[in-house]
Structure formats: C-alpha cells, structure tokens
A and B are shown apart, each in its own frame.
Chain A
Amino acid sequence: MIPALGLLVGLAVGLFLHPAVPLALQPYLPIAVIAALDTVFGGVRAVLDGIFNDKVFVVSFLSNVVVAAFIVFLGDQLGVGSQLSTGVVVVLGIRIFSNVASIRRHLFRA
C-alpha cells in the first residue's frame, strides 16, 4: 500500500514540478523507468507467489535500474546505443508482460 501511494505521490510531484532532466541522464532515464516498472510488476507477482521480500525488492529495483542504464551507456560508448536500448526495452517489455500474465492468473484464475 505504501509503495503504491508512493508511486502516485511521485507522479504528482513530477507533474507539478516540471523538473528538467539533466542532459547526461537523458538517454538513460527512459530505460531506467522501464526497468523499474518491470521490478514493480515482478514485486507484485512475488507477493502473489508468496515469496515477496522487501529487501530483495529494494535491491533488485536498484540493480535493475543501474544495469539497464549501464547497458545503454555501454551501447552508447560502443556506438550501438539506440539498438541496444531497443533490445533492452524489448526484453523488459516481455518480462513485464509475463509478470502481468502471472499476476492475472493468480488474481482471476484465468
């Protein structure tokens, strides 16, 4: 409940403050957001599987974000940044879908 409220609070703050993304972070923020979303859905799934752990959630959240950003950073350095970020988005998207499917099966048995 508290994390869900946190998400809403964060959205509201972002919408009202109109912050500018620092130039250095601009290529990585979207990927980091997707990775974090994936972690959140994974967390919900873990709750339903009965294996949720707060600490694991926090650690995996941070590591996912950092790794996703790092992959894109590495891709940019290698000159394949846009392709690699596309790949990362695809992989994370697939994971989000499978997590959502698992959640759906738990909640609706369908």
Chain B
Amino acid sequence: MSQIPPAKATGGAGDPSPWHRLRLMARPRATKANVFAALLTIILGFAMATQVRQNQVLGLESLRQGELVTILDNATLQSSRLEQSARELQATRDELVTDSTGGAAALAAAQKRLDALGILAGTARAHGPGIRMTIVDPAGKVDAPLLLNAIEELRDAGAEAIQVGDVRVVASSYFLSSGSGIEIDGTKVTRPYTILAIGDPQTMSSAMEIPGGLSETVRGLPATITITQQNELAVGALHTLRTPRYARLVAPPVSAAP
C-alpha cells in the first residue's frame, strides 16, 4: 500500500473493536485534512458519475485508435462479405430470370409440337386452305378400297388433315364396305361422301384429276365427283385415341443430370 506509513492511530490503538474504530473515524472532525479528504471524495464521486455517463452516451469518440481500427476492419470485412453475398444473390436472380424466359421458350416449343402432333393424330381440330370433294354415288359402286385409295392419293399430295363425312381419318383408320355404305373406324359413313382435306388446294386437286386417277375412276363407275378448292376449310371431327394394348413406349435414354 503506497499510502499507509505507520502514523498516529486516530482511532486509538487500544480499542479492540474495528466497528468502534470505524465509528470513531466517522465522527465529523473539522481538521484541514478531513476537509481535503471530503473534497477528494466529492471529486471522485463526480468523476465516477461523469465517466459512467460518458460511457453510456459516447460511441466511437471515446475509443482509442487501435479499437477504432479494429472496428473499421470489422466494418470493412462485413461490408465485403455483404457485397459478396449481394453479388451471389444477383447472379442467382439473373440465372432465374434467364431460366424462366428459357422455360417460356421451351413451353412455346412444346406447345407448337403438341399442336402439330394433335393435328397429325386427329385429336385437334384443324383449319386452313384445302379442298372439298363430294362423291355422289347413286348406284353404290364406290367401295372401301376406292375411298382408301382416294385418301392415300390425298396424303401423297400433302394433305395434313382429312375428314370423311363426320370421321377424322388418321394413320390407324380402317375402311370397311358395309351394306349400303362404308364404315370408317367403326362409324358408318353414308352417301354422298364428302371428303375434306387440308393442304395445298392446287396440288391436291391436280392429284385427284390426273389421268387414271381418282376422278377418272369414279366417273367410270359411274358416279360423279366435284372438287372445290377453298381458302378456308375446317376439319372439325376428332379422332378418339385408344390406349395401345400391346405397344409400349421405349423409355428415352436418361441424360446425365445437369
């Protein structure tokens, strides 16, 4: 202890009780040194209160240079971390945006494909330029093979969607002569036969009219055939898909995950 040299004992050395000593010391004594001590403790209390308040009020101003540098370092580090994270999030966002537009493109492509396949499979209605053929056959001479021939001719000429009467003709359609008419895919088609075909009207009507072709054959039966080219034609009949009983899809090769 720096402050306690052996000096005169104010409390009385003979007194055994420390509490009594304290009480003796606590008596107000108007010595100069006591006044000084009181002054000093006032200053001490004042300084303590001031310092506590200062610490509560002040932020960075009361810190030392080293501490400030540390805080600055931390702030810089955190800022660079946040910047990094912002960059990553930005990249992710860009990726997602690109992905979604790519997804839209893929969706459009898929839809286009679906439409094309629907027209081919006869599950979608189709319209466009084409020809309308009417075969009037009062004698009932037109049979299934002849009609099938006509359909094949039309396909050769580029027909994309064909309808006979109310029946959509697709790849799996079959033709049967039945009594007074013709049965296509189990549906009876009655005379006169109306054939709608969507495709290039010029090419198809030419194909029908070639020597030895459909028109000549029909006229020789005898029956009449009229072909009209139309700029707008609607093939509205639909083919009902049946689930194949035997054929199964071959699983496409699994591509490596991206």
Interface residues of A (CB under 8 A from B): 1-15, 18-21, 23, 26-27, 29-30, 32-33, 36-37, 39-40, 42-43, 45-64, 76, 81-82, 95, 99, 106-107
Residue on B nearest A67 in the bound complex, by CB:
B2
Decide if B42 touches A33 in the complex (CB within 8 Å). no
Contact A14:B45 (CB < 8 A) given known A1-B26, A54-B37 = yes
For residue A57, which residues in chain B have a CB less than 8 angstroms away from its CB?
3, 33, 37
The answer for the CA separation of A7 and B7 in the assembled complex, in Å, is 25
Decide if A47 touches B21 in the complex (CB within 8 Å). yes
Decide if B41 touches A106 in the complex (CB within 8 Å). no
- Which listed residue, A14, A20, A56, A106, touches B4 by the CB 8 Å rule? A56
Decide if A46 touches B3 in the complex (CB within 8 Å). yes
- Is B64 located at the chain interface by the 8 A CB criterion? yes
At the interface, is chain A mostly helix, strand, loop or mixed?
helix
Decide if B37 touches A3 in the complex (CB within 8 Å). yes
The answer for the CA separation of A33 and B21 in the assembled complex, in Å, is 27
Decide if A47 touches B25 in the complex (CB within 8 Å). yes
For residue A53, which residues in chain B have a CB less than 8 angstroms away from its CB?
4-5, 7-8, 10, 33
For residue A54, which residues in chain B have a CB less than 8 angstroms away from its CB?
10, 31, 33-34, 36-37
Contact A42:B50 (CB < 8 A) given known A10-B45, A52-B25 = no
CB proximity to A under 8 Å, residues B13-53: 13, 15, 18-19, 21-22, 25-29, 31, 33-51, 53
Residue on B nearest A54 in the bound complex, by CB:
B33
Chosen A-B contacts, 28 in total, with CB atoms closer than 8 Å, are: A1-B28, A2-B37, A3-B34, A6-B38, A6-B39, A7-B42, A9-B45, A10-B47, A11-B49, A13-B45, A15-B53, A19-B46, A36-B40, A39-B3, A42-B3, A43-B3, A46-B3, A47-B10, A48-B22, A50-B21, A51-B4, A52-B7, A52-B11, A53-B7, A56-B3, A62-B40, A63-B2, A107-B22
Known: A7-B44, A52-B10. 14 other contacts (CB 8 A): A2-B37, A2-B38, A7-B41, A9-B45, A14-B45, A23-B61, A33-B51, A46-B4, A48-B22, A59-B3, A60-B4, A61-B3, A76-B64, A82-B66
